Structure 1
Amino acid sequence: MAGSLLALPQDVSLERIVAVARERGYTAHGEMFSAASMARLAEEVFGCQVELLAGGLGEPNQSRVLRHLISGRPLLVPYDEDFNHEPCKKSGHKAHWAVGAGVLLGVPSPALSPDYEEDTELKGLFYPASGKPPPPLPDPPEAIYLLCKQGKSWHYQLWDYQQLCESNLQLAQLAPSRTTDGRVYVVPPGGVLAGLCGQALLLQP
């Protein structure tokens, strides 16, 4: 999903991604409990640049994440997935990866710069002006939602930024069901807490 947002010269199949991850020892069954391994995998299979963020999605990282998304580049973020695919807090027992593809900011109208253009059909909805560098962030946004997608869902959803931030920050444990299912998973030193908690990836060509 992230690769499709990078305008790659050719598509990289899911089979190829999983094969490389297995060859490198990043995964055994498709699991990915290390953000650092996910970053190396993305760099290898997509030929892209990846910035690994630590310390969560709040400030000082929040401004970088929002600017990254406004510029049209994908975010990869681990979180706990609820029954409806939205973020929840299950201590890492429902840990999954999601791709962020965009951002919706709620701002007072006087806060917008002329670098934003209003949608022709939906009044009050503004986009960065085409053909120009990404405009500055409205300061401060009164509401922040990310346009995200999880691999088991057909559709993008709008997720509250703070909920995703909180979900990402509490990833701490491997699900008990995984420890008793008879399979061996690739878990980094320090476990899920060290591998995923408070981490996210910014991908760019």
Structure 2
Amino acid sequence: MSETTSETHKNKSGATTNGSGGPVPPPPPPSLPNFGNAEESKSPEIEIESHEAVVQKLVKKLCDWGSLGGSAALVISRHVQHIPQIGPKCGIVALNMALSVFLQQPITVDEILNVARERKYTNHGEMFCAENLKKLATHFLPNNEVQSLHSGHLRNQEFIAETLAAGDLLLVPYDSSRNFSPECLKGHKAHWAIITGIIIPISQPSSNPPLPAYKNLPPGPEALQEVKKYLPVSCLHVLALQGKSRHLSAWPLTDLVTSNENLVQIDPEREASDLEYIVPEGGLKQGLCGKALLLKRPN
């Protein structure tokens, strides 16, 4: 097979051209900061929908399924860079997604994992202790307040709605079903998610529009004031991301909390494996059950 060669030179006007006489294309733009795994660069490019389009589809699905709780919705949401999970690193990946919101300088999953291993929080990336994940968050976010939450906080819909509307983030452990939504499996499928926003139902006269009427605001002072107009609500959905799927999800807060409160036992298959995991003395009941983390926005 013959090879084709090309060369560049300047034409009479001084412009640089290739061998065929056409202009030489400009150099590619610099790459964006890469939070997450080095393996991401090996994945084929996927056409990504805009965040606005994704949220609109989620609201439409809730409306079609009759689970929105109203005929319109107020959505408080922000785009958060998804980071894929490789291995049992769901808590570390969820934390890394939060870091991508609050930090300018990229941090990788491996950097977080190395610190966690040095501190004896994990062997393989597993994070079965919310308190240890809190310490990791504090290490990488020295300018953010990181708070431990319990079931009482999570069940308080007004607290959760106002917290997320103001611009804070939540890291919540739960039992993951096959489609990654919350389920109750006694902790056998314990997983971590980052909670990035909310969907609040609003009642209005039915007009059967092609899409449900909704207002989408980024978190901040305006969003917080708007949310307060509609609290309390009968049904609050939270927007969630987790490492095993790049798709944003909308879950009823009550489903997430119920799943969080059933984390009482590590998966027997995991316990019987040859891999050694770091688990608190009291198991998942001590480490994860009824626990979550609140990552406050910087002052």
Q: Does the TM-score normalized on the shorter chain lie above 0.5?
A: yes
Q: Classify the secondary structure of the residue corresponding to 2:258.
A: helix
Q: Classify the secondary structure of the residue corresponding to 1:149.
A: strand
Alignment of 1:78 with 2:173, yes or no, is yes
Alignment of 1:17 with 2:106, yes or no, is no
Matches within 5 A, 1:43-122: 43-47=138-142, 48-56=144-152, 57-59=154-156, 62-108=157-203
State how far apart, in whole Å, the 2-side matches of 1:153 and 1:160 are. 18
Please say if residues 169 and 195 of structure 2, whose CA atoms lie closer than 8 Å, have aligned partners that are also in contact: yes
Which protein has greater RCO, CA pairs closer than 8 Å, 6+ apart? Answer: 1
Deviates more, 1:128-137 or 1:72-81: 128-137
Instruction: Name the amino acid aligned to 1:75.
Output: L
State how far apart, in whole Å, the 1-side matches of 2:234 and 2:260 are. 21
Please say if residues 237 and 252 of structure 2, whose CA atoms lie closer than 8 Å, have aligned partners that are also in contact: yes
- Cα deviation per residue 1:158-183 (whole Å; 9 max; x = unaligned)? 11111111100100001001111012
**Structure 1 residue 109 displacement after superposition:** 5.1
State how far apart, in whole Å, the 1-side matches of 2:232 and 2:159 are. 14
Q: Percent identity?
A: 40
Query: Which stretches of structure 1, 4 residues or more, deviate above 6 A after TM superposition?
Result: none
Please say if residues 126 and 278 of structure 2, whose CA atoms lie closer than 8 Å, have aligned partners that are also in contact: yes
Please say if residues 42 and 50 of structure 1, whose CA atoms lie closer than 8 Å, have aligned partners that are also in contact: yes
Aligned residues: CA RMSD: 2.1
Give 1:162's match in structure 2, choosing from 254, 267, 286. Answer: 254
Q: 1:132 to 1:58 in 2, by over 3 A?
A: closer
Q: Classify the secondary structure of the residue corresponding to 2:260.
A: helix
Which residue number in structure 1 is paired with residue 121 of structure 2?
Answer: 26
**Structure 1 residue 155 displacement after superposition:** 1.3
**TM-score between the two structures when normalised by the length of structure 1:** 0.86
Larger radius of gyration: 2
Give 2:214's match in structure 1, choosing from 116, 125, 129. Answer: 125
- Cα deviation per residue 1:178-205 (whole Å; 9 max; x = unaligned)? 1110121111121100110011111023
**Structure 1 residue 139 displacement after superposition:** 2.3
Q: 1:160 to 1:182 in 2, by over 3 A?
A: same
Deviates more, 1:133-142 or 1:183-192: 133-142
**Structure 1 residue 126 displacement after superposition:** 2.3
**TM-score between the two structures when normalised by the length of structure 2:** 0.60
State how far apart, in whole Å, the 1-side matches of 2:194 and 2:218 are. 24
Which residue number in structure 2 is paired with residue 194 of structure 1?
Answer: 286
State how far apart, in whole Å, the 2-side matches of 1:93 and 1:146 are. 23
Q: 1:151 to 1:129 in 2, by over 3 A?
A: closer
Please say if residues 173 and 193 of structure 1, whose CA atoms lie closer than 8 Å, have aligned partners that are also in contact: yes
Q: Which runs of 5+ in 2 are unaligned?
A: 1-96, 206-210
Please say if residues 165 and 219 of structure 2, whose CA atoms lie closer than 8 Å, have aligned partners that are also in contact: no
**Structure 1 residue 129 displacement after superposition:** 8.2
Alignment of 1:41 with 2:136, yes or no, is yes
Aligned residues: 192
